Structure 1
């Protein structure tokens, strides 16, 4: 099982690294598409299709058909979060000799997951009211986009820089801190009607008694197919699938092999 976990981790890391190097602005581009719709509404102008909406539309369709694999594999900000968390985990294990993965209690995670919806509503409302322009220089993902483009943000972005630093600290304390709690585009993805064939399921009849490894390993504390109302919170990191000791988790409905033999 450890070999499979290592293989999946290496494949995922390679894909993340590729997107981080060649397409680091996908997240901000996708949200720019959403922003352009509300900017048109605020200006009482017709909504016109643009290149930002091309990216937004493609990612929304992919999310509906396949789940939030963009978040788990392609988002540069999410990949940065994974790197920060794994670095912290390595330091904890090698220097402080602390075993296991660290993070927040389930109740805290559930409460903080709602923050991204509040943030999304705040940003969209600020666009509609024309107040969004006053937020210039406060966006941590604008600072991140500049850094990945090889540009240093000037003094007007000092609030955005501070917020980015605070987010980086948060990434060290909880797996996928930004994606789960603060990402406005993640809130949009989480509200999408994801097809059942894109969700993770398990055959509970084959689960060992009092196992729960999949939920313990899931950064969102999901019960896999038991958390249907929260399925949008799944970032498709495949951690549950590779952790299962009986290979009992897969995307799409799980078929009982014993039934199939009959």
Structure 2
């Protein structure tokens, strides 16, 4: 533990969560760049790895370049040139990174969002071991930990937390207006989206901000901007950060609704020791931005961000298995 900003200490769990959040955000930024660079490997000589800037990058067809991220592609090339000199080795490494959190491949594993799975045509089902792992692993994680994706991995939430931190640092206060009050609206959105998907109209990829962010970075590598997705994300970030805290995550997000349902009986959760809990203390209720209620033992929306556990003055909250 190390000294923190509230006169206490920043817990190891929070440092690990921040590291995971940063890594997830970096991943959706790097994967499109890796894919852009992988396209170049088929057109450049072996000796050009690490020397792409010097050996005719400007002469390549524009579709093979890095778009707005061209300079970043050149930096990636330079880094690979310091490590290897074999295009095959680089290609094999890059094959282990593709997609984004809608369907993402890391190494030998592919993870498919449960909402992405329900919109896949049956003819795309392979039912081999790799495919079964791809669709069951995210569900298994939700059954054990609930909505852990929301606060540990989701890049949209990471940006949201950063904006809130920046606003507090700069002394910018939001309006704090209750735009939406119905906590069951997200389940309605989930149900309507599911029905429309089954009927052949896939709506989830167009409303989920973490999907829009992944698509935004992918378009940049081709020299274009996915303006629709960018506008959707910016509007939601503004509402979440300055109007009503957590309006998307707690009231509208169908992914959060689905993960919450899957994790309703999650195996690992925050438990309250009633003998230690101080009756007059409601600090855990104040620090939770996910509409969970540790004081009432209501942890349906818990994302395991661990803030309530860290801030509890009597150490009455612990992570326990059922």
Deviation at residue 240 of structure 1 after TM alignment:
0.4
Look at both structures and tell me which one has the larger radius of gyration over its CA atoms.
2
CA distance in structure 2 between the partners assigned to 1:55 and 1:251 by the alignment: 27
More strand by share: 2
Q: Structure 1 residues 199, 159: closer, same or farther in 2, change over 3 A? A: same
TM-score of the aligned structures, taking structure 1 as reference length: 0.72
| Contact 2:145–2:304 (Cα < 8 Å) also in 1 | no
| Contact 2:148–2:304 (Cα < 8 Å) also in 1 | yes
Deviation at residue 145 of structure 1 after TM alignment:
0.9
Q: Structure 1 residues 137, 195: closer, same or farther in 2, change over 3 A? A: closer
In structure 2, the residue matched to 1:245 is 313
Q: Structure 1 residues 39, 11: closer, same or farther in 2, change over 3 A? A: closer
- State the secondary structure of the residue aligned to 1:233: coil
For structure 1, the residue ranges without an aligned partner over 5 or more in a row are: 255-262
Deviation at residue 103 of structure 1 after TM alignment:
5.2
Higher RCO (C-alpha under 8 Å, 6+ residues apart): 1
- After superposition, residues 1-262 of structure 1 pair within 5 angstroms as 2-5=7-10, 7-22=12-27, 27-29=101-103, 32-40=113-121, 48-49=126-127, 54-92=133-171, 111=182, 113-132=183-202, 140-149=209-218, 151=220, 158-173=227-242, 174-195=244-265, 197-224=267-294, 226-228=296-298, 231-252=299-320
More helix by share: 1
Q: Structure 1 residues 138, 83: closer, same or farther in 2, change over 3 A? A: same
Provide the alpha-carbon RMSD of the alignment: 3.6
CA distance in structure 1 between the partners assigned to 2:313 and 2:175 by the alignment: 21
CA distance in structure 1 between the partners assigned to 2:314 and 2:9 by the alignment: 12
CA distance in structure 2 between the partners assigned to 1:86 and 1:26 by the alignment: 26
Deviation at residue 233 of structure 1 after TM alignment:
1.0
